[in-house]
């Protein structure tokens, strides 16, 4: 047996739970450290970079679930570690207010746990989807689980933002406790009994991990696409850690308002993904390369708009500008995922998983590097200019990276790549 549509949706709830916990650590806690605690933006940037850096081990987690069996055990165990890490990260912020060193130690341990939890749970989940989903359903399964993750991020940010105001440390811990416990319980219910009802499809024999990785890196197209993923994802994640502090320092947003802003941005991402999915798959409009280029150029234009609004300050229409940014981010992201699906099967056979692992590692490195670089550049710029100009300069630089990614997509990707219903691959994790 293979996964039914209902079972695929149930596994999508696990992705939604992952996104719900992670968004609190990369948006809400980041803003509290920079604005309420007046800490350098590079500090939460380094913590988030730690969480992404640990996710470079995702191929190893996949290997463990492959060889050890019982993927459900790794999914639930990883989610438990992630939930504890999310709760610990919130507690670390609370402790930082009075004991900076102790709070930092707690935060480092918590963000490391978050990286381990996401790697173990997310990778095992995608492995279960990849090996137990009928080939004709894999593209739809990937889209469903990705959109559910984005929905979980947007819903959590929007709802938790309403409960965080007026901000108090106790209220923060209560909100995070509800989210993390709810995510863990949802995961346990969602995966219950699924693995026992499906028989994984046989895996093709492959060379040892490092040998396979060297073979893939020797392929020009795979190597160039890896560089494209790194460049574009660096641009994608540069604003992740500075947008909420920007809203607080320049526009006077409260913690709840800035968290809601993050939810609105991810709502825009969701809409952008749906538009590309419907237009590219159902209506057969444009190629994946075209959607990637449109998404990159649109994201660059939106970032220029977000930067310009900083010169107006409080009262400027930041919310619609951020939703627009999310919309074009979503168009780019889902088209890039589709490109990975199409390209994963090209080149040497029985290496699809290795290619996806390579591109997933490039994405994780870019996510950590991009977030840290954005925060560090803001700190440096704030030493020589006002807050609005400092953030604006970084947003403008990010826009230039998007334009460079668009140009690279035109060279690396082929126009014939389309939203093929026969492509098969998994979706990179958060």
108-112, 230-234, 359-363, 373-377: range with lowest mean pLDDT:
359-363
CA distance 130 to 83: 25
Mean pLDDT (the chain, rounded):
82
Least confident of 100-109, 201-210, 241-250: 201-210
**Domain termination residue (choose one: 200, 235, 264):** 200
Q: Residue 2: inside a domain, yes or no?
A: no
Same domain, yes or no: 300 and 176: no
Distance between CA atoms of residues 111 and 134, nearest Å? 36
Same domain, 42 and 123: yes
Domain annotation covers residue 1: no
pLDDT value at residue 422: 38
Predicted local distance difference test score (pLDDT) of residue 429 = 40
Q: Tens digit of pLDDT for each residue in 207-217?
A: 565 665 677 77
Identify which has the larger pLDDT, 201 or 329: 329
Distance CA 361, CA 240 (A): 18
Domain boundary, last residue among 172, 200, 228: 200
Provide the pLDDT for residue 129.
76
User: Domain ends where: 200, 225, 260?
Assistant: 200
Is the domain of 171 the same as that of 307? no
Residue with tokens 């710029």: 381
Domain containing 186 equals 7-200
Residues 186, 72: one domain?
yes
Q: Do 287 and 411 share a domain, yes or no?
A: yes
- On whether both 281 and 332 belong to a single domain, the answer is yes
Residue 268 within any structural domain of the chain: yes
Are 12 and 115 in a shared domain?
Answer: yes
| Counted domains in the chain | 2
- Higher confidence at residue 10 or residue 61? 10
pLDDT for 346 equals 61
* C-alpha distances out from residue 372 to 53, 238, 288, 314, Å: 11, 8, 29, 27
Residues 6+ apart with CB under 8 A from 60: none
Model confidence band, residue 425 (pLDDT cutoffs 50, 70, 90): very low
Q: Clarify whether residues 394 and 247 are in a common domain.
A: yes
Q: Are residues 15 and 59 in the same domain?
A: yes
Percentage of residues in the chain with pLDDT exceeding 70?
82
Confidence of residue 111 (pLDDT cuts 50, 70, 90): very high
Q: Of residues 129 and 291, which shows the higher confidence score?
A: 291
């Amino acid at each position: 047996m293979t996964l039914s549509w209902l079972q695929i949706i149930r596994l999508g709830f696990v992705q939604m739970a992952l996104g719900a916990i992670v968004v609190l650590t990369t948006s809400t806690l980041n803003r509290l450290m920079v604005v309420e605690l007046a800490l350098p933006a590079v500090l939460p940037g380094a913590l988030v970079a730690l969480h992404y850096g640990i996710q470079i081990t995702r191929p190893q987690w996949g290997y463990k679930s492959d060889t050890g069996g019982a993927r459900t055990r790794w999914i639930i165990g990883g989610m438990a570690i992630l939930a504890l890490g999310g709760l610990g990260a919130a507690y670390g912020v609370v402790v930082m207010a009075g004991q900076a060193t102790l709070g930092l130690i707690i935060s480092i341990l918590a963000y490391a746990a978050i990286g381990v939890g996401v790697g173990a749970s997310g990778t095992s989940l995608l492995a279960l989807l990849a090996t137990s989903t009928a080939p004709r359903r894999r593209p739809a399964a990937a889209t469903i689980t990705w959109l559910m993750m984005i929905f979980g991020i947007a819903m959590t940010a929007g709802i938790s933002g309403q409960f965080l105001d007026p901000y108090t440390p106790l209220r923060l811990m209560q909100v995070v406790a509800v989210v993390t416990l709810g995510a863990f319980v949802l995961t346990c219910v969602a995966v219950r009994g699924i693995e026992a009802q499906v028989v994984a499809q046989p895996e093709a024999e492959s060379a040892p991990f490092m040998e396979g990785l060297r073979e893939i890196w020797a392929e020009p197209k795979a190597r160039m696409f890896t560089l494209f993923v790194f460049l574009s994802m660096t641009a994608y994640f540069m604003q992740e850690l500075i947008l909420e502090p920007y809203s607080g320092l320049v526009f006077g947003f409260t913690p709840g308002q800035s968290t809601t802003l993050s939810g609105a941005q991810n709502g825009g991402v969701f809409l952008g993904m749906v538009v590309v999915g419907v237009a590219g798959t159902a209506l057969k409009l444009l190629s994946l390369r075209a959607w990637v280029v449109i998404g990159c150029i649109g994201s660059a234009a939106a970032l220029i708009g977000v930067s310009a609004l900083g010169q107006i300050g409080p009262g400027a229409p930041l919310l619609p500008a951020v939703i627009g940014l999310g919309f074009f981010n979503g168009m780019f992201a889902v088209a890039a995922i589709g490109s990975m699906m199409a390209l994963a099967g090209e080149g040497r056979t029985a290496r699809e998983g290795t290619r996806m692992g390579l591109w997933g590692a490039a994405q994780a490195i870019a996510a950590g590097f991009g977030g840290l670089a954005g925060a560090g550049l803001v700190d440096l710029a704030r030493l020589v200019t006002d807050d609005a100009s400092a953030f604006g300069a970084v947003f403008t630089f990010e826009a230039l990276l998007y334009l460079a990614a668009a140009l690279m997509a035109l060279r690396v990707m082929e126009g014939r790549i389309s939203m093929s219903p026969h492509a098969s691959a998994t979706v990179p994790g958060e």
